[in-house]
Amino acid sequence: MHMSEGVLSAPVLGAGAALTVGGLAVGLRFMDNRRVPEVAVVASALFVASLIRFPVGPASVHLTLNGLAGILLGWMAFPAVFVALALQALLFQFGGFTTLGANTTVMALPAVVASYTCRRMLRAGGKTLSIIAGAIAGAIGVAGGVVLIALALVSTEESFKGLSMAFVAVHVPVLAVESAITAIVVAFLWKVKPELLGINGGINGDKGRGGILKSD
Amino acid sequence: MHLEEFAEGSSPLHRMDPRVKFLAAGPFLVLTALAGGLAAPAYALVVSIVLAVLAGLDPLKLGVRMLVVNVFVAVVWVFLPFSMQGEAAFSIGPFVASRQGVIYALQITLKTNAIVLATIAVYGTTEAMSLAHALVHLRAPVKLVYLFFYFYRYVSVLHEEYTRLREAMRVRCFHSRVSKHSYTTFANLIGMLIVRSFERSERVYEAMLCRGFHGHFPVIGHFHLHRVDYVMGTLLAVASAGVVAIRMTGL
């Protein structure tokens, strides 16, 4: 999910850039040296997974996976989304250099909201509760992103209302698929590697992994 | 995954110092994004075409990229002329397009193409690692640059991992369709990818510690400015000034 170059107005681009700088500052504070490769490699996994095409009726959709990024990375979703979009902007020219701030906010802000919304449910540790948290996070990720894009377009120019409404409408099936998939991914992680969900430390947890190799 | 389609070559833009690219082309892109009217965006598109010609980009590959970008532009043309208020320009059936809407859609078309073309010509012609290296020299937050570096390094690795998992699924006769089984399989695939990526990152960090990593990479190579950098830097600065000048004259 991203907005193209050359569309948004100066105030919208400025607001996006300012929010991104703030989010990056908080995210980088959470990301100590040990976590840099963690965040990078998990972010590249999410990036690769977001390229998968899911069949929906006769068409197919891509997932945004920002809700899942929120669960796994918390505030560090900001730097993770930022580098992913920067690479896309520099190499594929999807999104772009001048819209980097706005597009990072669109993806990462809902991720942070999802992380705060679901944190307590995940910490509680039950399987059903975790799956529900996953479904909620997936829904928040898509809905938040879609709403932010619609807001950005309409604040740029009121005539974008029609376009924004069409954009929201086509994302309803995406929201359903994303929510279901995020829930199943969380169920999988709950079984296989629960520490990733912040239940016992992990990337997002507060206890940390410790161990002899912990250097800082 | 082939990520750097345009990075090989010996054009002035390929030889340019990446630091100069950030300092000189950054303002041009931002000014173009902020430009109003039609004259400044049209001028910016001309500059971008000149840059693309200078970079000697493969027309076929470039065409494919530009086509993808213009899909969005096409959507804008479907909606904008008809939803904007103003004097009528033309009508299709019951829908009346306004002059203002057409001008605005044209402005977006020019700006989008100008920015994307310039981005490919300027940044696409340098390897991502050199861009990251230049960012370190330009005092960007080091952790962010390292994150970019690792992300770039491991995207292709994980894409291979993904391809392997998909092949394993194909061997077992998996067909993607709308069904609970299909979705669960995909979700487990994503979960597996995340678990493997996390475990890989642990090994990466441990290997880094074994090699004495303590928070930063030594930067061995340094950039030096050559004549091409002064020439291209000046050209880009003049091009940026042109965008401002056209706006000032009020066209």
Task: Give the pLDDT mean for A130-152.
Answer: 95
The per-residue DSSP string of A39-107 comes to HHHHHHHHHHHTTPEEEETTEEEE---HHHHHHHHGGGHHHHHHHHHHHIIIII-SS-STTHHHHHHHH
Question: Do both B125 and B238 map to the same domain?
Answer: yes
Query: What digits encode the pLDDT tens for the residues B84-140?
Result: 777 777 877 778 888 888 888 999 999 999 998 998 899 888 888 888 888 888 888
pLDDT band, very low/low/confident/very high, at A213 (cuts 50, 70, 90): very low
Q: Is A71 in the B-facing interface, judged by CB distances under 8 Å?
A: no
More reliable by pLDDT, A125 or B223: B223
The nearest alpha carbon in chain B to A160 belongs to B80
Q: Is B80 in the A-facing interface, judged by CB distances under 8 Å?
A: yes
Look at residue B6 and tell me if it is in a domain: no
Question: Do both B58 and B113 map to the same domain?
Answer: yes
pLDDT at A45: 92
How many distinct structural domains can be found in chain B? 2
Using the beta-carbon criterion (under 8 Å), do A6 and B143 form an inter-chain contact?
Answer: no
pLDDT band, very low/low/confident/very high, at A119 (cuts 50, 70, 90): confident
Question: Do both B128 and B157 map to the same domain?
Answer: no
DSSP letter, residue B23: I
Task: Give the pLDDT mean for A136-151.
Answer: 95
- Chain position carrying tokens 């991720």: A111
Question: Do both B183 and B199 map to the same domain?
Answer: yes
Q: How far apart are CA A13 and CA A170, in angstroms?
A: 24
Question: Do both B20 and B125 map to the same domain?
Answer: yes
Question: Do both B105 and B30 map to the same domain?
Answer: yes
Q: Find the domain containing A163 and state its range.
A: 10-197
pLDDT at A212: 35
Question: Do both B23 and B71 map to the same domain?
Answer: yes
Q: Is B196 in the A-facing interface, judged by CB distances under 8 Å?
A: yes
Q: Map residue A186 onto helix, strand or coil.
A: helix
Nearest CB to B152 within list A87, A180, A203: A87
Q: Is B176 in the A-facing interface, judged by CB distances under 8 Å?
A: yes
Question: Do both B42 and B74 map to the same domain?
Answer: yes
Q: What is the mean pLDDT of chain B?
A: 87
pLDDT of A25 strictly over 90: yes
Query: What digits encode the pLDDT tens for the residues A39-74?
Result: 999 999 999 998 888 877 777 788 999 999 999 999
Q: In this structure, what are the phi and psi dihedrals at residue B21, rounded to the nearest 5 degrees?
A: -60, -45
Look at residue A15 and tell me if it is in a domain: yes
Question: Do both B45 and B166 map to the same domain?
Answer: no
Q: Find the domain containing B205 and state its range.
A: 140-210
pLDDT of B164 strictly over 70: yes
Look at residue B4 and tell me if it is in a domain: no
- Asked whether the beta carbons of B247 and B36 are under 8 A apart, the reply is yes
Q: Look up residue B87 and give its two tokens.
A: 């004097």
> In this structure, what CATH number is given to the domain that contains residue A70?
1.10.1760.20
Question: Do both B125 and B149 map to the same domain?
Answer: no
Q: How far apart are CA B44 and CA B59, in angstroms?
A: 20
pLDDT at A203: 54
How many distinct structural domains can be found in chain A? 1
User: How many angstroms away from the CA of A31 is the closest CA of chain B?
Assistant: 8
Look at residue B217 and tell me if it is in a domain: no
Look at residue B218 and tell me if it is in a domain: no
- Asked whether the beta carbons of B29 and A98 are under 8 A apart, the reply is yes
CA–CA distances in Å: residue A202 to residues A73, A82, A199, A209: 10, 22, 7, 6
Question: Do both B99 and B22 map to the same domain?
Answer: yes
Taking only residues 155 to 184 of chain A, the set having a beta carbon closer than 8 angstroms to any beta carbon of chain B reads 157, 159-163, 166, 177, 180-181, 183-184
User: How many angstroms away from the CA of A10 is the closest CA of chain B?
Assistant: 6
Look at residue A3 and tell me if it is in a domain: no
Which chain A residues are Cβ-neighbours of B193 within 8 angstroms? 45, 48-49
- Asked whether the beta carbons of A129 and A121 are under 8 A apart, the reply is yes
User: How many angstroms away from the CA of A179 is the closest CA of chain B?
Assistant: 11
Question: Do both B54 and B95 map to the same domain?
Answer: yes
Look at residue B215 and tell me if it is in a domain: no
Using the beta-carbon criterion (under 8 Å), do A41 and B188 form an inter-chain contact?
Answer: no
Query: What digits encode the pLDDT tens for the residues B131-152?
Result: 888 888 888 898 999 999 899 8
Size of interface A-B (CB pairs under 8 A): 240
Neighbours of A120 (CB within 10 A): 10
Look at residue B231 and tell me if it is in a domain: yes
